[in-house]
Structure 1
């Protein structure tokens, strides 16, 4: 349906003029930004919004990940299960070795509360109960985990259980876990669970509620910390994923087998926030030189100062017979860093009625022009196309 018929190159000075114009107000960083390191055998830092890995050490090496596995368990359960489901605890869950929330045989608990027990207290019994409920069996749930890993692009990972106890063919890489974390943190329910410091849940066996305190110390010791998971086995060593949001930006760090993980995470997060600011590379409404097209959306990306000179872009136009073209879209601005695509921005014709409509709306509301979104544009165009209504 999307037939590209033409590419207009925009490299060298042309793209630099465009990108510098819209990003000029971004905070400057030193060209010789310092290197960062950790005590971990493998580590990765990722920008959650863009998915860009900002730092990696042995990032593609498959390793034991202990209870970091539960990040995958949680997101698969959230996506495939119903949080309001009542889960009955079976024999395989009761007394599961390692960390536990001490579930009893036949006990009933909502899937949502089990997920809190899973992520705050790292309950291996909770992991097993969740897996059997959502996947029908441990093997069935592991299939869903590996299916999700493939979907996300985790090429150096494989899962055989939901809890992370050491097992043959159960492993992941730091880069893969960073990708998974960024994916999971875009889910509202997941974000809510992993950012919770203390959770109470009904206890059918006692007169008092379960009270679970989050094991993730970063939630108390780092400004803006908002997740995600601790992990440890003797073979895997200390494993940790932490996330934090500052100035509207969210970063996540993964360390595998790191004896000084709390301090390392503070330093890596500080480094990422300082040296990789989000820079606006194109603004909605910006004219694309020599094309008669305008950007239909903003696009920003985490970059160090010296990477500006390594940006390039090209315009891909659409076949006039395609549905997107009929709906008003004329192509995409493809933005690259060192030749690799980092983003695609939809383009509309410079004389598209939407720009005039936006000016009129902005003027009547006392606002600056450029408000709105590509989705709003499409809605207006579909309405006009199929109903003739242009309001």
Structure 2
């Protein structure tokens, strides 16, 4: 009787602690901004965590230069010297004050582009990398199509207003997440101050980053400011905390610095990046070749499912260690895939064996665990005591 009372007490305490720990799942607190459109993305996974009018086409001003920079990095030789044309030197708007015929390395010009938002730098870069400004814009739109940015179209490399030049908050978030995976881009946009040789004066150029978030927000590491009379204030910022990087986008926002702090705080608080599968983790008769991490709100981890899609044993790739993939879904929607390798022998606690005749189109459900597993297992143990049933070790 005493053990029964003890078990019942334990169950009540366990149940109440389980509820307080979040096993009654609640949606994250509402987030509001002053922006016409906004989006927040987890950079590693590409998951959009927040979106307000996220797929609506809007003017993006100098946020355009995010695409200009990544296209330049991918297509250009950064050590080459760029010569400033008359068209570039005379470009209106924000400038790094390049003079006609002035030469500067493509790499340094990218700093002038991203830190000071130089429209003259954007034009000079475009003409150098694309042959003409129009040729470079073709590359920009080609990249947008490659990335699936369906609400995006460019007419120039700098972002001066044009009715056919636009993007959406979600597209800008996805573009930023892509660009931030490039180490050169990442290094440029987190730089607060940059010096570069000045062939026209006795002193070097010294460019201070216009992005105040780099000094205002803990962990801030990018990305770009923007403004025109029609687009109004636009901002993309990024920050990294505890190994997780988020990027926030606001378009037409009169209080963007405060809104970005609020958005980033909200994302880090409600969608921490969690390791769903570890590299080398054994799952039935296979092991994960890479880790899989994903930002998950409270309660979402228990709603993950995974299916193993094996390669047939006679497939030469299977013999080389490529046993197939694990497809991971949240609420039935695919969120990622990781490759797996076959184990030398099946684990002793399973009788599963690779079937030489198995088709790769026959996925198998596998257990990847959830944040509530330990709680559920503890409840089962209490019931085992209550009703005289022993759980398997």
Partner of 2:126: 131
Of 85, 93, 100, 2:88 maps to 93
CA-to-aligned-CA distance 1:231-251 (integer Å, 9 cap, x gap): 000100100000001111100
Partner Cα distance (2:58, 2:316) in 1: 46
Cα pair 1:95 1:102 within 8 Å, conserved: no
CA-to-aligned-CA distance 1:332-372 (integer Å, 9 cap, x gap): 1110012221111222223269xxxxxxxxxxxxxxxxxxx
SS of corresponding position for 1:232:
strand
Partner of 2:350: none
Report how far residue 308 of structure 1 moved: 2.4
TM-score (normalised: structure 1): 0.80
Identify which of structures 1 and 2 has the higher relative contact order when contacts are C-alpha pairs closer than 8 Å and 6+ apart.
1
Stretches of structure 1 lacking an aligned partner (at least 5 in a row): 1-26, 354-391
Report how far residue 117 of structure 1 moved: 0.5
CA-to-aligned-CA distance 1:300-358 (integer Å, 9 cap, x gap): 210011222432121111133434212112121110012221111222223269xxxxx
Partner of 1:334: 327
Whichever of the two has the greater Rg, that structure is: 2
TM-score (normalised: structure 2): 0.80
Report how far residue 287 of structure 1 moved: 3.3
CA-to-aligned-CA distance 1:264-300 (integer Å, 9 cap, x gap): 00000001011111122122343334xx223233212
Residue 228 in structure 1 maps to residue 223 in structure 2: yes
Residue 182 in structure 1 maps to residue 177 in structure 2: yes
Partner of 1:113: 108
Residue 104 in structure 1 maps to residue 99 in structure 2: yes
Partner Cα distance (1:331, 1:99) in 2: 51
Partner Cα distance (1:170, 1:297) in 2: 39
Of 204, 212, 216, 1:209 maps to 204
Moved more, 36-45 or 339-348: 339-348
Partner of 2:213: 218
Cα pair 2:22 2:299 within 8 Å, conserved: no
Of 29, 33, 44, 1:34 maps to 29
CA-to-aligned-CA distance 1:27-57 (integer Å, 9 cap, x gap): 9797342111111011000000111110001
CA-to-aligned-CA distance 1:59-81 (integer Å, 9 cap, x gap): 11011000000000000001100
Partner Cα distance (1:103, 1:246) in 2: 37
Of 112, 137, 144, 2:139 maps to 144
SS of corresponding position for 2:87:
coil
Partner Cα distance (2:22, 2:296) in 1: 10
Moved more, 176-185 or 302-311: 302-311
SS of corresponding position for 1:61:
coil
CA-to-aligned-CA distance 1:84-135 (integer Å, 9 cap, x gap): 0000000110121110011111001110111010000000000000000000
What does 1:246-285 correspond to in 2, within 5 Å? 246-285=241-280
- Cα distance change on mapping 1:352 and 1:152 into 2, 3 Å: farther
- Cα distance change on mapping 1:316 and 1:131 into 2, 3 Å: same
Partner of 2:338: 345
Residue 66 in structure 1 maps to residue 61 in structure 2: yes
Cα pair 1:232 1:239 within 8 Å, conserved: yes
Of 318, 340, 343, 1:325 maps to 318
Partner Cα distance (2:293, 2:248) in 1: 21
Residue 159 in structure 1 maps to residue 154 in structure 2: yes
SS of corresponding position for 1:315:
strand
SS of corresponding position for 1:313:
strand
Partner Cα distance (1:58, 1:324) in 2: 45
Cα pair 1:46 1:179 within 8 Å, conserved: yes
CA-to-aligned-CA distance 1:180-235 (integer Å, 9 cap, x gap): 10111111111111111011111111111111100000001100000000000010
Partner Cα distance (1:81, 1:352) in 2: 49
Of 55, 73, 76, 2:50 maps to 55
- Cα distance change on mapping 1:263 and 1:294 into 2, 3 Å: same
Partner of 1:239: 234
Aligned length: 326
Cα pair 2:112 2:118 within 8 Å, conserved: yes
